[in-house]
Each structure stands twice: as structure tokens, then as C-alpha cells.
Structure 1
Amino acid sequence: MPSDPATQAVAKDLLDTLAASPGVALAAPQIGYAVRVIVVDVSRKKGEKGHGLIVMVNPVILSLEGRKILREGCLSVPDYTGNVLRHEQAVVEGLALDGRVVTLTTSGFEALAFQHEVDHLNGLLFLDRIQSLSTDLFRRKTSG
């Protein structure tokens, strides 16, 4: 349950880890927890708004609309980005930490972030969604 101390501790660790990272979202499996909890805050990226900081337990994507290929990266695979087919709109439902059912209609970058994090909960990385490693995977440029 969302309000139990173990779930609250996972949520706090996710929030602390996200705050210390350059990312906009994180899933519990990325930091070693085998539970279905995500945090998403696309407002951390300049020019993005979305719904602000969201912590969601047991998120489920109810519907997807539109399709778009876009460049995607991941904190779990920091050296690469790839072209991934995602949907432009997603309706996501899950539980807030107080146990309330939350249903969000997301679009653009926020819809991508929710799809990406739910993939983590389902054991997928963005690399699993790349059509061709030779044409759709790119090494990130590093400064220095």
C-alpha cells in the first residue's frame, strides 16, 4: 500500500535520487527496489511544465494516442541516446502516496516520461524499443 512505511521510504529515496540527478523521472527498479513506484517532474527541464512533481505507485497506462519517433536517453544508460517510437499523449492512472487514485492526461515530453518509467517497471529499457542499433543508437557527446 502507498501509505506503508516501506513504500514511503522508497518514494523518499526516489525523490532524493532524482533531486541529485540531471534527470526528470526515475523508477524504483533503477535504484534497486523491486516495487512499482515512479517519480516524474518534467518541469526540471527548461521550458517544460507538465503536472509538476508526481509520485505514483502502481502506475498503469490506460490509453495512448499519436505516434512520434524521438531521441530518448536514460539515467541507467548515461552514455547513449536512441531514436524511440513513443506516443504523444498518455492517460496514466496510479495511486498517490496517500492512497488516492490519480488519473493524469499527459502530453508531449511528460507523456514520454511516463511511458519510459512504466517501461522500467515492466523490465524494459529504451534500448529494447530501438529498431536498429546501427542507425538508431547514438553515443552522447561528452564535454572535455
Structure 2
Amino acid sequence: MSVNGKKVLHMDRNPYYGGESSSITPLEELYKRFQLLEGPPEAMGRGRDWNVDLIPKFLMANGQLVKMLLYTEVTRYLDFKVVEGSFVYKGGKIYKVPSTETEALASNLMGMFEKRRFRKFLVFVANFDENDPKTFEGVDPQSTSMR
């Protein structure tokens, strides 16, 4: 609406808007949200230089959302980059989500059986070819959702 010259009022009970899928800035607000007694270390720089998504958003490079962002011209205010890693907050600690077999073996996020299943999943993904049904292993990619 603001693109069409309309004024927009955002109201939220939080000091930020967007609910559970919002981004928190400055960094000090993130520390407050997770009730961390110490603030961010000085080595992290200015808090306002950080913008942390509560739920990371991944965009398909040629998807509808990217087209909408281009149309509304908000891309002037965005930076796109390759994902370097994904992290989760569990039990008061931050963990890197494993993306390789080596990382999975060293991770405390999964037990022994989950690590074995994860390895099988990585092998499945690495060998998957949408033009070769032999690589589907009983999964129809056109009708199966990835829950």
C-alpha cells in the first residue's frame, strides 16, 4: 500500500513488528528476548548493525517472492547472499545445523540413530536426479510433500 502512496500504521505489542517471524534489531533486543543476562560482546560491533530473523527466510532465486520484491523496489534496501550456515537455539545454547556428514557426526543436536538417518538423507539428496526415476527411492517428487 505504501508503494501506492498510502500511509500505513503498524501496531504490535512487541517493541518490533512481525510476530514470531519477525527480525530483531538492535542486537541488544535479541539478548533481552532470550533473557541472556550479559549483553552482546563488544567484538560484535554496534547493535544496530545486526538484524536477526527469528525464523530465517530462504528465497528461491527465481521465485514469486523475488519477483514481488523487484516490483515493489524494496530491493534497494536489501542485500542477497549465499547462506553460510544455519543455527538453532536449544537449551540455552546456539548450535550450527549440520549440513555435511562430518558436521553431523560432531553435532550434539542428534543422537546416534538420527545421525544415521541424516547420513542416508544426505546420500539420497546427493544422488537425486529428477530425470532419473531410479534415484527417487520410492518417493514421487511431484506428489510427496517434504514434511
TM-score (norm 2): 0.26
Q: 1 or 2, which has the higher strand percentage?
A: 1
Larger Rg: 2
In proportion to residue count, which structure has more helix? 2
Q: Which has the higher contact order (CA 8 A, sep 6+)?
A: 1
